[in-house]
A and B are shown apart, each in its own frame.
Chain A
Amino acid sequence: MRPFYFLIMTFLYWNTTPVNAQFYQTTSAEIRFFSSAPVEDIEAVSKEGIAVLNSDNGEISFKVMMRSFKFEKSLMQEHFNENYVESEKYPAATFKGEANSKIDLDSSTPQEVVFKGDFSVHGVSRPRDIPVRITVKNNGKALKLESQFDVACKDHDIKIPKILWENIAEVIEVSVNAEFQIITK
């Protein structure tokens, strides 16, 4: 009974833990966004993005709290949270997706990968293809991810009053800069 049982369990373990399954995580991803309008440029930054990446199947999950964005003017920060993204109702922006190509952990040259998935902000989720440049560091112990993409306010039901069109851009430029560390079991 016993040898047979251990055989089954070993088989199950072996089956559920593929040899090359590797997870990376970060809790300090830097997310910036930039709005360029005739009257003023507005920039905000958060360094509290959290994310997990499975390098085996390219699955990624990314999350940043809207409240963690810092603005140069604190009244702007209040208006951003209160009037635009309504962060009490919709506290976080998220992205969940999968890479369309394999991440090569042995290569140290930057790789261009597109993550296909759902990007959600202000409670509205949109399918997006996000281009990401991945650089493998420290022999695969760390991954650097860089990405730039645009977010249109109206895609996510973020309403800008007509009288403020000169102050706030309709399309916001977002850039992400994150260093993922390998999760050691």
Chain B
Amino acid sequence: MKKLLLIQFLLLCSILQAQDVDSLMANLSEEKDYRVQATFKSPRLVLLQTNETQKAKNLAFWVGHRFGDIGGEFGGSNTLFGLDIATDLYLGFDYGITDALTVGIGRSKFNESYSGLVKYRLLWQEEDSMPLSVTLFGQSSWITREPFSRNEFDKESDRISHFFQVIIARKFSPGVSFMINPGFLIRPEAQVQDIDDSDNLFALGIGGRVKIFKRISIIADYTFVNGLSRPDDLQTDYYNPFGVGVEIETGGHVFALNFQNSQAIIANNFIPNTTKSWSDGGVRFGFMISRNFNLGPKKIAN
């Protein structure tokens, strides 16, 4: 009898429950797993690439600049803290073939190099099921400057290097994102400046951003090159590239105002050739500006 009473009571409860608009809503609200958007605001952080790519049919125009040493023997008031000098200038276009696939071309002042890049988003972080985003990045660079010595580049392929990177990123909260970028640089022996240095170099980048306002973030990245595959006892002092900056987003533009020790902008140049250090005034000011153009259809599909 008691059991029957209990069953009756539970039945009654469930009917009462089903009577309510709110409880019916609760049954309907099975939340969809959406992709996490905007892990980073831009496809580039300070020096490194982020997991972000161009949106489909969007073209970005890039202008980048690296000034001279702020301090040390090449900086100070003689060069207005490096502002008289341009160690690198970058002009480039990136185009999103799909939301996942971006191709780009660019030209750097450093080594007068032309570069082409491909970025592919392999995995997208989702709100529930997928914790990480993974993007593959490849960039080839062609040095076009006159050789410094007669036999610097014996053949045309001596001017070409390739860089591959896997970008693993996670947006921890609306304001905080991090990434880890293991990479590998393949370069011909002709491009090795220090005779003891290895041709090919492993690189491990780490980077992050913290939003301080809705449209303004602090960004930083650091790349381990020394201490990986690079020999320890080199004639030249090489340093690990490190940059910090402020990123400002205004609709179609993203501005990054940076300080870094690397003289060059593209990875093929700065991974092997960073000879300046933060500790002896070799840090420099720089900026990276992108302007986005939507080349897709103007009308909504449905």
Contact = CB atoms under 8 A, between A and B. Distances in A.
Interface of A: 5, 9, 12-13, 16-17, 21, 23, 25, 27, 43-45, 48, 50-54, 59-61, 63, 65, 67-68, 70-75, 77-79, 81-83, 86, 88-89, 91, 161, 163-164, 167, 183, 185
Contacts of A21: 19
A167 B249 CA distance: 16
Interface stretch (B22-30, B70-78, B104-112, B233-241): B22-30
Given A53-B21, A54-B21, A59-B21, A83 B214 contact: yes
B150 interface: no
A50 B297 CA distance: 29
Given A9-B12, A75-B292, A75-B294, A23 B24 contact: yes
A23 B21 contact: yes
Contacts of B15: 13, 16-17
B227 interface: no
B130 to A, nearest CB: 15
A155 to B, nearest CB: 19
Interface in B193-234: 214-215
B188 to A, nearest CB: 39
Interface residues of B, number: 39
A interface, over-half SS: mixed
A61 B292 CA distance: 40
Contacts of B29: 50, 63
A117 B66 CA distance: 57
Interface string B278-300: 00000000000000101011111
B28 A75 contact: no
Interface stretch (B32-40, B135-143, B161-169): B32-40
Contacts of A75: 55, 58, 252, 292, 294
A9 B15 CA distance: 12
A25 B28 contact: yes
A67 B298 contact: no
A86 B21 contact: no
Interface in B103-159: none
A45 B302 contact: yes
A43 B19 contact: no
Contact of A25 (B5, B24, B56, B252): B24
A82 B251 CA distance: 11
Contacts of B31: 65, 91
A50 B28 contact: yes
Most chain B beta carbons < 10 A, residue from A48, A72, A75, A185: A75
